[in-house]
């Protein structure tokens, strides 16, 4: 194995460090989402550089970036586009919406109504959109990174399970440590401008490097015993006492894909149980619905995932 993925990850980590202080695990997860061809739900309070992180990722790989600010009056056509009639030519032409990009940041996705949320479903699953009966393909690198605020619920529309299940992972971004926040202040005092990434000195990678890493991840070997291990973990979510709705077969596939990506950035061409354990929280945390009594007891999906993973026998 040539460790292209490990080299890409090391380079991206170094470039992220020029722009964002800390948040190493969350930034790794953003990269892994892109490398596996999935979509990420990013949760955190405002001001934690969620938008900046995705913009930086696009900048590093020289990918197109678009941002949609979700509001209660946002319509599906505002996202996917529409056919517009031109009086001069007497013909309809396609006005492409922001979804025709590589990386799409859907900011505060739970602030837009279900009709507009559902406009993303086809794009996320099939990398295409249908406008007036005509199918339009999206970029091979198309990825949705949707953000939501975990504490503000007034005027929001909870994401339906069908939409949540299409997100490969849920990435949580927390507050920086005091010394990290002091470093943020130093960067701004020294003239750092998050709106001018061209001046941040980022060294880009080519789309070919991204393709090579994706191919390397796909080639990571998985032993039959690990298929059974992954299935056992996801199966436990469906009969765990504190869980009322467990994870779907799509979650089983996503758990394997994300674990393979973790193995690849560690420089291995084979999967081990620790990769699956490392992938489980991000892949499963948004897919489980806890029973009311579990919520009353203060249980979180994070705790439940840790407990059920620990209860599954690790293959030798």
- The model's pTM: 0.88
CATH of the domain at 290: 1.10.8.80
Question: Which among 177, 211, 245 is the end of a domain?
Answer: 211
Residue 277: helix, strand or coil by DSSP? helix
In a domain, 181, yes or no: yes
Residues whose CB is less than 8 angstroms from the CB of residue 238 and which lie 6 or more positions away in sequence, other chains included: 246, 247
Full DSSP string of 228-247: HHHHHHHHHHTT-TTEEE--
Distance between CA atoms of 204 and 281, rounded to whole angstroms?
30
CATH of the domain at 137: 3.40.50.300
**How many CB atoms are located within 10 Å of the residue 191 CB?**
8
* One domain, residues 232 and 96: no
Is the distance from CB of 14 to CB of 24 less than 8 angstroms?
Answer: no
Label residues 109-148 b or e (16+ Cβ within 10 Å = b).
Answer: bbbbeeebbebbeebbeeeebebeeeeeebeebbbbbbbb
* One domain, residues 282 and 138: no
Question: Which among 178, 211, 244 is the end of a domain?
Answer: 211
Residue 101: helix, strand or coil by DSSP? coil
* One domain, residues 28 and 158: yes
Full DSSP string of 175-231: PPPHHHHHHHHHHHHTT--TT-GGGTT-----HHHHHHHHHHHHT-B--HHHHHHHH
- Sheet of strand 169-172: strand arrangement: 65-69, 103-107, 143-148, 40-43, 169-172
Is the distance from CB of 143 to CB of 102 less than 8 angstroms?
Answer: yes
* One domain, residues 181 and 225: no
The closest of 61, 50, 151, 155 to 105, measured between CA atoms, is: 50
* One domain, residues 100 and 13: yes
* One domain, residues 179 and 304: no
Distances 210 to 104, 213, 215 between C-alpha atoms, Å: 17, 5, 9
pLDDT in tens, the chain (316 residues): 458 889 999 999 998 988 888 888 899 999 999 999 999 999 888 888 888 899 999 999 999 999 999 888 888 888 888 878 777 777 777 788 899 999 999 998 888 888 888 888 888 888 888 888 888 889 989 999 999 877 666 656 778 787 888 899 999 988 889 999 999 999 888 888 888 888 878 888 988 889 999 999 999 999 999 999 999 999 999 988 888 888 899 999 999 999 999 999 999 989 999 999 999 999 999 988 888 887 788 888 888 899 999 999 988 7
In a domain, 316, yes or no: no
In a domain, 235, yes or no: yes
* One domain, residues 163 and 284: no
Q: What is the mean pLDDT of the chain?
A: 88
* One domain, residues 242 and 202: no
* One domain, residues 207 and 242: no
* One domain, residues 47 and 165: yes
In a domain, 57, yes or no: yes
Is the distance from CB of 193 to CB of 52 less than 8 angstroms?
Answer: no
Distance between CA atoms of 242 and 23, rounded to whole angstroms?
30
Half-sphere exposure of 104 (CA within 13 A, CB side): 26
| Residue 250 belongs to domain spanning | 220-311
* One domain, residues 232 and 162: no
Question: Which among 150, 176, 211 is the end of a domain?
Answer: 211
Q: What is the pLDDT of residues 66-104, one digit of tens each?
A: 999 988 888 888 888 887 877 777 777 778 889 999 999
Rg of the chain on CA atoms, in Å: 20
How many domains does the structure of the chain reveal? 2
Q: What is the pLDDT of residues 126-169, one digit of tens each?
A: 888 888 888 888 998 999 999 987 766 665 677 878 788 889 99
Which ranges of 66-177 would DSSP assign to H, the alpha helix? Answer: 76-80, 114-126, 161-164
Distance between CA atoms of 5 and 18, rounded to whole angstroms?
20
* One domain, residues 23 and 132: yes
In a domain, 59, yes or no: yes
């Amino acid at each position: 194995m040539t460790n292209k993925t490990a080299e890409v990850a090391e380079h991206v980590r170094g470039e992220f460090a020029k722009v964002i202080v800390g948040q190493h695990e969350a930034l790794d997860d953003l990269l892994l989402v892109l490398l596996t061809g999935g979509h990420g739900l990013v949760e955190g309070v405002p001001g934690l550089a969620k938008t900046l992180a995705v913009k930086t990722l696009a900048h590093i790989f020289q990918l197109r970036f678009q941002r949609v600010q979700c509001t209660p009056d946002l319509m599906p056509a505002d996202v996917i586009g529409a056919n517009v009639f031109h009086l001069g030519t007497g013909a309809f032409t396609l006005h492409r919406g922001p979804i025709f990009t590589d990386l799409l940041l859907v900011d505060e996705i739970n602030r837009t109504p279900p009709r507009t949320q559902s406009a993303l479903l086809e794009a996320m699953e099939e990398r295409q959109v249908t406008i007036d009966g005509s199918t339009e393909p999206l970029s091979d690198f198309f990825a949705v990174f949707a953000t939501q605020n975990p504490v503000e619920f007034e005027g929001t529309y909870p994401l339906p399970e069908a939409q949540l299940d299409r997100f490969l992972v849920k990435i949580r971004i927390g507050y920086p440590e005091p010394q990290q926040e002091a470093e943020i202040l130093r960067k701004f005092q020294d003239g750092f401008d998050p709106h001018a990434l061209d001046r941040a000195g980022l060294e880009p990678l080519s789309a070919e490097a991204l393709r090579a890493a994706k191919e390397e991840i796909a080639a990571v070997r998985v032993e039959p015993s690990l298929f059974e291990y992954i299935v056992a973990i996801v199966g436990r979510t469906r009969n765990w006492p504190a869980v009322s709705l467990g994870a779907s077969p799509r979650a089983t596939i996503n758990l394997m894909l994300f674990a393979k990506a973790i193995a690849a950035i560690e420089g291995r061409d084979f999967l081990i149980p620790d990769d699956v354990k490392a992938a489980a929280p991000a892949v499963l945390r948004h897919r489980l619905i806890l029973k009311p009594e579990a919520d009353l007891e203060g249980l979180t999906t994070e705790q439940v995932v840790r407990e059920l993973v620990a209860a599954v026998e690790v293959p030798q």
